[in-house]
Amino acid sequence: MIESIDRRETSFHKLQTELGKVIANTPPGERLPSEPRLSKQLGVSRATLREAMRAFEGQGIIRRKQGVGTFVISHTHVIESGLEVLESIETISKRLDLPVSMGEKTITFISADDELALMFDMPVRTPLVKVERVINVEDRPVAFLIDIVVNDILLPVDLQKGFTGSVLDFLIRRGNPTLSHSVAEIQAVAASSDIARYLEIQRGDPLIQLSAKLYSDEGRMIDASSSYFLPGVFRFQVVRRVGSL
């Protein structure tokens, strides 16, 4: 039944969140508690704890030295994210225990013009929903996000129930349609006057722009988003492999 939608808040996820808090509350360069102590503190075995730590290590957040201890590398207040996995800012922030809040949120109902119709592969005038929002870190705007979603995916009734603002989180939580992947293009742009006003910066200041298209497992395009990030606050990482893999 629809019962099994939300097994994502499992124990391991919880563990990662808890561990993230511990790391976030440890000053950069400082040592974490030893693994036996941490495992007892978090209520898991050392083996399980080590798996969780490995994930953080892979993102370059902590570094382990045999015979010495585990150290925190990057400082808080920098949203660090591997680009390979698609996660909402809320999810990343929660894991890293960052003080993130949502600022201005605007929802408008539009209909597809030629460009959008082509992009979504749907007829012109197809009803769409446009979600614009500002992300704050400690009451300072750091990102401006625009999502355009097909109307039948994000119904008006959905917008009232469990919609926090993150289209991605909402779709993941609902589980229908099943999401597959997203293709994103990264650019550097100069802030337009509109966006500069939202982010309280100067027009012409450099921004990171992420233009992404989100696809369902059936290959249907569900969401087109354009996101603008303040450099310095966000660090986008990607692992590049040589040759065959």
Write out the residues near DNA by the rule CB under 7 A. 4, 7-8, 10-12, 15, 32, 34-36, 39, 43-48, 50-51, 64-70
Residue with tokens 């005038």: 125
User: How far apart (Å, rounded) are the C-alpha atoms in residues 185 and 197?
Assistant: 24
* Site for its own copies contains 240 (CB under 8 A): yes
Residue 183 interacts with which of DNA, its own copies, none, CB < 5 to 8 Å by class? its own copies
CA separation, residue 181 to residues 70, 131, 205 (Å): 34, 20, 31
* Site for its own copies contains 27 (CB under 8 A): no
One-letter identity of residue 51: E
Interface residue with its own copies among 5, 12, 30, 104 (CB under 8 A) is 12
φ, ψ at 21 (rounded to 5°): -65, -45
Q: CA 150, 5, 97, 57 torsion: positive or negative? A: negative
**E strand or H helix at 47:** helix 46-58
Contact string 160-199 vs its own copies (x = CB under 8 A): ------------x------xxxxxxxxxxxx---------
The footprint of its own copies (CB under 8 A) covers 8, 10, 12-13, 16, 20, 23-24, 47, 50-51, 54-55, 57-60, 66, 75, 78, 82-87, 91, 172, 179-190, 204-209, 212, 229, 231-232, 235-245
